[in-house]
Each structure stands twice: as C-alpha cells, then as structure tokens.
Structure 1
C-alpha cells in the first residue's frame, strides 16, 4: 500500500505558496509547494520544494489508495469519500518547470478570457479588510490594494469596519459548500445573521449554470432553495462570480463601495439642511399665528392679504 498523502504548512516565511505537499511516489516521495490544500475551484499552481522538513507542521494526513506516474502526470487517489481523485500535471512555463494540481471538474472548467483591473476600488488608496478568524483558506487579495487582518466577525468571512463596527460583510462559498448549506437548512440562519448588518452579500466561486450540472443532488432542489433565500432575504444578494479570482475581485469592489457609500451618507446627514414643506398652511394655522403676533381676526371669513403675506414672510 502507498504511504499517506501529507499536507503541511510551508516553513518559509513570506512564501506565496503557503503549503507543502508530499506525494507518496518513489522512495522519498515528491515534495511540492502549493497555494492551496486541494484544487476546489480551479487548478492549483505548485512548485518543487527542496525537501520535506524534519518536524513538519501537518495540516492533513490522508491515506492513499493509489499513486501512479503516467508520463507527464501523477494520478493520485485518496482513501476518503470526497475530494479523493486528483492529478498533478508537470509542464514547463517560460522555460521553467511548473506543476498544476487539478481534478476532473477543475480541468473542464473554462477560464474567462478577462484581465482584472488595477484601478483602486471606489478610489480608496488602501482598503483594510477584516478576515474572519475561522476562515481556513483565506483569500490573499494579492491583485488588489488591500491590507488584511484577522478577527472574529459576527457574520460573513470578509468585512470592512468603521469605528470598530462591521459596516459590510461578504460570505464566501464554493459551489460544494453552497449546496451543503442550502440542503441542510443552514443558509437561512446564515442569511438572517448577514441581514442584520448594514450591507452584506454572499459570493459564490462558480457559475450559476454549474447548479444544473450537479449529479449528487437534484438541481431543481438547489435552484428552488436559492430562489426562496433571495425572496426571504432580498437585502442580501447571492452573487455567482464564475471563478475564485473573480469572486475575490467582486468582494473587493463591493466592500470598497460600501465604505465609500457610508462616507457619503454621513456627509449628507451632517451637512444637508432640511427642506421646508411645500404644503400650504391651513386657515386655522394662519389665524393662530396672527393672534400670537398681535393681529385681530374673526373666527370665520376671509383672512386679510396683509396678514397672509406677513405669515408667509415669517415662516
């Protein structure tokens, strides 16, 4: 039987590939640096590591059913019910070796032919995003002008704060996680928590069309559950963003806009003057004002023009 498939934290400080993978192939195994612990939403870039550390900080230890080298690829089958089949593809990019970790699903997933913009979100030079302390594999926002810090959030995974209070929050979901949350009934409670915030949304790292390609649950059940959630919680949109990168970009723009919009609302509340009512005053109001200011008027009849003009001038 093959050895276990090991995942550990990369001991190199500041590495953009925070995990080490040990593939049970050969006497010493194949050790790679990786960006993720599994290719859930897209192909994962990997790079050769010099070796496995003597005292690794393990993240996962998974028994292996088979691990076979086939040409320029390594087929790995793990002994677990979900996330068990994957492939490492060895290739060359710009003259250097590159390794991509993929599953059958991510290999078929089309990549949108778009380039992400580099302009600042809502003109904010650097946006501070609070990442929930329970978020295991957090986005890094490498492409955006963002600083992040970890803290506990009342709802959502990524948020912006004003004066220590959450202003806007985004709950991040993969398609698998979304389906699980919907079918177990947890989504209602999640949306209820998000709806208590001033601004919130749920972002999905996949296409809406992927819902109708599900094979382990009826697509209509998921589609109906999504429709029900949006009808019951219309202030919390559920946005499908096709890929992880686009979901991250959308979240950045959404949180930046929420912060900028909050500043505009504060400006209006503190500096705008109230508009006077366009409703015409009733005769009773005019008579009351006239008596309080020394005019003598009958209880009935026409109000003199000079009294009406004086009333209008002093309002």
Structure 2
C-alpha cells in the first residue's frame, strides 16, 4: 500500500486483499492525506455499512467510482460528506468504540430515516413533575433531556448511567447501551455482573439505543447467539428489563418516562405503607363474639339465629 496526496474527489476502489471480508476501499478527502477505509458496500442504503480503517491506498488501485465532493467536514465523532450528484449524495461516517476497539459505520439519510420512526415526542411532564435526573459523571455523550421537562446534575453514581433519588435514597437507575456495547458486554459476561448489581435496586432497567432487529445484523457475532444471550439474561434477572428502542432519541424519552414512573411508584408505596399500618381493620367479629359483648352490656340478643339489627349497629358504634 502506498501513500497518497489528499484528493479532491471521493474515491471507491476494489480492495486488493481478496481474503478480506470488506471488498471495497474508500478514500475520504479530509485531513492532509485523506482517510482510507475498508467497506462492506459502495453506499449505505436502508442499513449502515460497516467500515474499518485501511492500512493505506494501493499503488495501482482498481477504481470503481470517482465522485466530486461538494463539502466534507469533521464534527467530533462524525464525518459529513456531500457529493456533487443528484442522488445518493449525502452520507455520514460515524466513528465509535465497541469492546475497546474502533468501529466505523457509514450511513445515509435513508439509513437514518429507517432508524427514526415518524413520531412526535410528547413534552408533558413525567407523572406531573419536573424530574431531577442525576447523570453519572463517567457517562460519555450523555442524554441532556432537553426535550423533556427535567433538570440534570452530574456526579458519580454507584451504579448505572441515569438515576432519580428521593432525598438521598437511590430509587431507580437506567443503564444505557448502544447495540455494540450490548453485544460486547453480553459476549464477555460483563452485563451479567451489571444486571446482578442492578437487581438490588428498587427499580432498574437497561435501555438499548437500537431496535431488536439489530441483534441479527451484527458483524462480529451471530444473531442467534446474541438473541440467546439476551433471553438468558432476562430469565436470570427478571427484575431488570432490557428494553430496545429504535434510536437514541426514543431511548432518551423512554428513560425519562420510566424514571418518572419509578419515582411516582416509590412515593406512593412510602405513603401507602403508613396508611396501612395505622388504619387497616382487623378481622371481622364472629356472631359469638357479638353475643358475648351484647350480653355483658345487658342488650337483648337471642342465643341462636340472626343478631338483631339494633345490636349489630351498637357493636359497630362501640368505639365511637
């Protein structure tokens, strides 16, 4: 592989390494020399295209396509690419990490549209109040809950990524997972340890920023293996649901509503416990007990049969 001066065009070439599972090379004109990626396909459609960094650009590449670039820009973990053509002209490369290694996905507007259901998220308060959500200080790219009626503060949580408290008592916690993180933590066993710890909370849940169908579209593990691992985790730890949402925004909304419902239930239970302890009635008196009570007070009550209405009313008023 040779070095290359950064081109002005977006280049797609055949990967000369025939043993590679990624048959194409991409040269993105960004930076001093561009970025070379191996790719599974030549353009993202309804699903993302998995990419991996290439070792370099071939000295004599078999070019498949050369497309002039209108604009290319890097924003944090994403590279936005706009090509000079009417169709298939806008795409984005998202650079993330899974199981400690770099993972790159290439997506288009169609990909994002498929992943984003056409729903309008509500703005109503969760159970009638503005939630104070604590975000773990180690959480990267944390939810801001800007669309929801919530305030956030950051500090180190003993467990999970997002939590609500009642005074100083940890009530409910949400662990956030991308699909890659979920897959990795299932395969290496870390998730089972986390679920065991989460099970000790009043309420706890895991929210996944992807639909369940993505379980069967992973590059490094068979879908059946991941699905089995998810099922086994839910059987072992039924008190901690693993919830699949379609995307990050819906996962954020679900976490907000769920935390609000958990806090509401906690406070209801705290109030109910007091009421039950103070006013719960004892067992209903037997006819024999009422007769003994009435006779001791000189009331006329038959030894058998129905107790007269007047006697029963007197019994019921005995503590007034």
The bucket for the TM-score relative to the shorter chain is 0.5 to 0.7
Match of 2:193 among 186, 189, 196: 189
Match of 2:223 in 1: 219
Corresponding residue of 2:263? 259
Alpha-carbon distance in 1 for matches of 2:197, 2:185: 14
Q: 1:119 aligned to 2:124?
A: yes
Is the Cα contact below 8 Å between 2:133 and 2:153 reproduced in 1? yes
What is the CA-CA distance between 1:202 and the residue it aligns to? 0.6
So what's the TM-score if we normalise by structure 1? Answer: 0.63
Deviation string 1:8-38 (CA, Å, 9 cap, x unpaired) is: xxxxxxxxxxxxxxx96238x99xxxxxxxx
| Residue of structure 1 equivalent to 2:82 | 90
Q: Is the alpha carbon distance of 1:225 and 1:254 closer, same or farther for their aligned partners in structure 2, counting shifts above 3 Å?
A: same
Distance 2:224 2:292 in 1: 67
Asked if 2 retains the 8 angstrom alpha-carbon contact of 1:120 and 1:145, the reply is yes
Structure 2 gaps, min length 5: 5-28, 36-46, 58-65, 85-89, 95-103
Choose which of 18, 26, 29 in structure 1 pairs with 2:32: 26
Residues 101-136 of structure 1 deviation map (CA, whole Å, 9 limit, x = unaligned): 445454435232223222222222x32211112212
Structure 1 residues 307 and 160, CA, compared in 2 at 3 Å: closer, same or farther? same
Tell me the CA shift for residue 173 of structure 1. Answer: 0.3
Partners of 2:199 and 2:271 lie apart in 1 by 24
Distance 1:153 1:117 in 2: 28
Contact 2:209 2:247 in 1 (8 A): yes
> Which stretch has the larger CA shift, 167-176 or 259-268?
259-268
Which residue of 2 is the match for residue 137 of structure 1? 141
Q: Is contact 1:139–1:248 with CA below 8 Å preserved after alignment? A: yes
Q: Is the 8 A contact 1:2 1:65 kept in 2?
A: no
Q: Report if aligned partners of 2:30, 2:72 keep a CA contact under 8 Å in 1.
A: no
TM-score by length of 2: 0.62
Question: Residues 188-242 of structure 1, C-alpha deviation per residue, up to 9 Å, x if partnerless?
Answer: 2211211211111110000100111223212112111211222222221111111
**After superposition, what is the alpha-carbon deviation per residue over 1:78-115, rounded to whole angstroms, capped at 9, x for unaligned?**
xxxxx9xx8531379xxxxx994445454435232223
The answer to whether the aligner puts 1:274 opposite 2:279 as a matched pair is yes
Q: 1:89-108 maps to which residues of 2 (within 5 A)?
A: 89-90=81-82, 100-102=92-94, 103-104=104-105, 106-107=107-108, 108=111
Post-superposition CA distance 1:39-67 (Å, at most 9, x none): xxx99xxxxxxxxxxxxxxxxxxx98459
Question: How many Å separate the matches in 1 of 2:187 and 2:32?
Answer: 42
Query: What secondary structure is seen at the aligned counterpart in 1 of 2:115?
Result: coil
Aligned in 2, Cα 1:230/1:99: closer, same or farther, shift over 3 Å?
closer
List gaps (5 residues or longer) in structure 1: 4-22, 31-41, 44-62, 77-82, 93-97
Taking the aligned partners of 1:140 and 1:91, their CA distance within structure 2 comes to: 32
Corresponding residue of 2:151:
147
